[in-house]
Amino acid sequence: MSDVFPKWTNRLPMLLLVGLVMAGTAVVAGVWYYFTPKYTRVGYQPIQPVAFSHALHVGQLGMDCRYCHSAVEESWYSNVPSASSCMNCHNQVLKDSPKLDLVRQSAATGEPIPWVQVHKVPDYVYFNHAVHVRRGISCVECHGPIHQMDEVYHAQPLSMAFCLDCHRDPASRIRPVDKVTDLEWTWNSDPAIAADLQRVNGEKFVHDWNVQSLQNCSACHR
């Protein structure tokens, strides 16, 4: 009597098992790779309770970042300004604009504006704004062209690889400390000359300021 099933079907359970393992591995690898800041946060642009334009305030009016983010040179975090800081100008400028109703209400009651956080790193990552800002690393290196944004969005991945690229070669990102918040500043209008100038001066700054381009795990994971 001939076999009901062909002989190759004896290997079918093993083939199915191998296929499931390979498919599971592919899914895990895909999630592991693509569910990282580079893919899940770049481009993130939440709707904020008040429409604040960096392009207007910084790009056009030339306000210094530190007027609003006043703690950035002294603290590990970059503080969000209070409504009273906004009202220092807006008690005269657009003082009756309905767009600023929530700002006026916050200033009067002390209830903070519920801003939606855009830039953040995992809880196991330690980042100190003051250390970077006081050693010539500009806002645009991590936040992108924020002075051109009408609404803030997540421009850079802020992944470990992104940070390590800078830590391995800080001379390519560093600039004079007094130009850190001058977001339009470049070494030179000629890109070829600019690259040479930045390399020479950047390496000098790294040496003179004793910039510690740490790459050990404990520098960021504490």
Confidence of residue 9 (pLDDT cuts 50, 70, 90): confident
The token pair that represents 128 in the structure block: 């100190």
CA 65 to chain centre: 15
Burial of 152 (0-12, 13-18, 19+ CB in 10 A): buried
Reported as a single tens digit per residue, the pLDDT across 192-214 is 788 888 889 999 999 999 998 89
CA 28 to chain centre: 26
CB 152 within 8 A of CB 53: no
* pLDDT given for residue 198 in this prediction: 86
DSSP state of 6: -
Reported as a single tens digit per residue, the pLDDT across 79-118 is 999 999 999 999 999 999 999 999 999 999 999 999 999 9
Whether residue 148 has pLDDT greater than 80: yes
Residues whose CB falls within 8 Å of the CB of residue 27, separated by 6 or more in sequence, listed in order: none
The token pair that represents 22 in the structure block: 């390979």
Taking each helix axis from N to C end, the angle separating 83-90 and 101-109, rounded to the nearest 10 degrees, works out to 120
| Distances from the Cα of 79 to the Cα of 59, 62, 111, 182, angstroms | 20, 19, 16, 19
From the CB of residue 93, how many other CB atoms can be counted at a distance below 10 Å?
11
* pLDDT given for residue 201 in this prediction: 92
Global pTM exceeds 0.75: yes
Reported as a single tens digit per residue, the pLDDT across 161-204 is 999 999 999 999 999 999 999 999 988 877 778 888 888 999 99
Residue with tokens 């070669």: 169
Please state, in angstroms and rounded to a whole number, the distance separating the CA atoms of residues 156 and 140.
Answer: 10
* pLDDT given for residue 173 in this prediction: 94
